[in-house]
């Protein structure tokens, strides 16, 4: 039987790392507000940085595991999870922008 999508334990869509992504969106949002970015530029920067991170993340994971000679663990993040991670980063950014600057 196929599992439904929203389970924190299997990590296919949403996992505990999703909270980290919301947090990173908040932190980056605060940095961009402090720097003085306009909303559109800050939103674009958040999106681009997180897309780049999701592309680079498996490579970093592989390199660290290779350096530690740890071949028992594999990178287990689905494309859907990566897309949702980006969405959570944007949500964190939107929340902090709304709290600090309003819309």
The string of pLDDT tens digits covering residues 53-68 is 999 988 887 787 777 7
How many independent structural domains does the chain possess? 1
Task: Specify if 27 maps to a domain.
Answer: no
Task: Specify if 47 maps to a domain.
Answer: yes
What domain range is 56 assigned to? 37-101
CA distance 21 to 13: 13
pTM of the model: 0.79
Token pair for 11: 């990590």
Given pLDDT bands bounded at 50, 70 and 90, which one contains residue 95?
A: very high
Given pLDDT bands bounded at 50, 70 and 90, which one contains residue 96?
A: very high
Task: Specify if 2 maps to a domain.
Answer: no
Task: Specify if 97 maps to a domain.
Answer: yes
């Amino acid at each position: 039987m196929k599992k439904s999508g929203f389970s924190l334990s299997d990590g296919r869509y949403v996992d505990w790392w999703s909270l980290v992504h919301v947090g990173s969106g908040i932190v980056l949002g605060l940095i961009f507000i402090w720097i003085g970015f306009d909303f559109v530029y800050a939103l674009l920067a958040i999106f681009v940085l997180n897309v780049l991170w999701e592309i680079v993340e498996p490579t970093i994971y592989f390199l660290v595991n290779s350096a530690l000679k740890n071949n028992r663990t594999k990178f287990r993040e689905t494309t859907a999870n990566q897309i949702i991670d980006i969405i959570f980063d944007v949500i964190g950014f939107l929340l902090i922008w709304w709290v600090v600057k309003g819309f």
